[in-house]
Amino acid sequence: NNVSNFARLAITLVHLKEFHGSEDSARKAKSTRTRKEVCFASVDYEDFRLDHKCDLLIVVHAEELEDLIYYYLYRGYFEEIIS
């Protein structure tokens, strides 16, 4: 809780493949860009359970929804985008 830059922490945790910590840090960062990066990384590593948590944080921003859908579809995750 003594971290001053949650966005950087979230990205660092993504690189370390600590997705659960990265999702929490991205939420605390309150940055849509950071949330998208964590979301996209969890899609890349096929951690869809965590990814759905991140998706819910992004979906409230309608302008970001198209990027999110495209990211799933481009990688062939048709079923995951629906569920």
Q: How far apart are CA 44 and CA 50, in angstroms?
A: 12
pLDDT reported for residue 74: 92
The per-residue pLDDT for 54 is 67
- Successive 10-residue mean pLDDT values, the chain, 83 residues: 79 89 87 86 82 66 81 88 74
Cα(21)–Cα(14) distance, rounded to whole angstroms?
Answer: 8
